[in-house]
Amino acid sequence: MKRLLYILLIPVLLSESSCTMIIKGMGKSIAKAYDDQKDLNINNLEVADQNGKAARFGDLYAGKTVYMYVWRHTTLLPADDTNADYKALKSRFEKYNDVVFINLYTGETEGDWKQATTLKNNAVKAYHLSANSINADFRELMSSSTSPQIIGKNGFILGFKGPRPADKLVVDYALFQARSGENATEATKTLIKGINSEQHFKNDQLTTWYESHYGKKPEGKLNVSISNSGNSISN
């Protein structure tokens, strides 16, 4: 069962700096899992679109950073435009022509795969793994997961079960940094280290990134959340 840890409910007896240390510690711990499959390259996966046309993943998305929702069970479909956080994330990355959003069904049930047509997903292509045996290991790896993966431009997984659309700041920074080949673990650590006890950026580099990416200056305390593998924290 998914456990939601509300950092704001930490007893008020803790000092603000202590709370920040706890948040950072939990964030770094969760982010460690993002690079669990950093040596896995998925370029040779054979995927098929909704018309049945099959192709190698690498042929479709060479040179692209891909935010890919992987799913298998209809009880937990991938995020679509009815999810405000996912829709907003896509909107923020529209200006980057090297970033694409897709979803990938890893099961083998035709009826379940057809559920992809019910998703309201503007500019998001849906694929399923073909029956090609080359897909077997990846199919097994993702057998019980509905989760986003960040794929680098060379086909390596830079964010395994990575930041979700609701992960404020973290998902944007991790996906942005993936464009230059940085994995989500390192990006998340950099972001966490760059926020001080008052929940503001410590350095001009992150401030400049924020202003360029969001089109505005940071206002007030930064709202950061991190979730992965059924656990989430927020502040």
Q: What percent of the chain has pLDDT over 70?
A: 84
Q: Is the full-model pTM beyond 0.75?
A: yes
Name residues whose C-beta falls within 8 Å of residue 88's C-beta, 6 or more positions apart in sequence: 165
Domain ranges across the chain: 3-36+186-234, 46-155
Task: Check residue 20 and give its pLDDT.
Answer: 42
User: Which residue type occupies 189?
Assistant: K
Q: How confident is the model at residue 24 (pLDDT cuts 50, 70, 90)?
A: low
pLDDT digits (tens, 9 = 90+) for 124-170: 999 999 999 999 999 999 987 799 999 999 999 999 999 999 998 99
Give 88's Cβ-side CA count (13 Å radius).
Answer: 13
Q: Which residues pair with 103 in a beta bridge?
A: 69, 126
Task: Give CA–CA dist 225/233, Å, rounded.
Answer: 6
Say how far apart CA 65 and CA 165 lie, in whole Å. 16
Residue type, 129: L
What pLDDT, on a 0 to 100 scale, did the predictor assign at position 29?
61
- Helix axis angle for 204-214 and 170-178, nearest 10°, is 90
CATH topology of domain 46-155: Glutaredoxin (3.40.30)
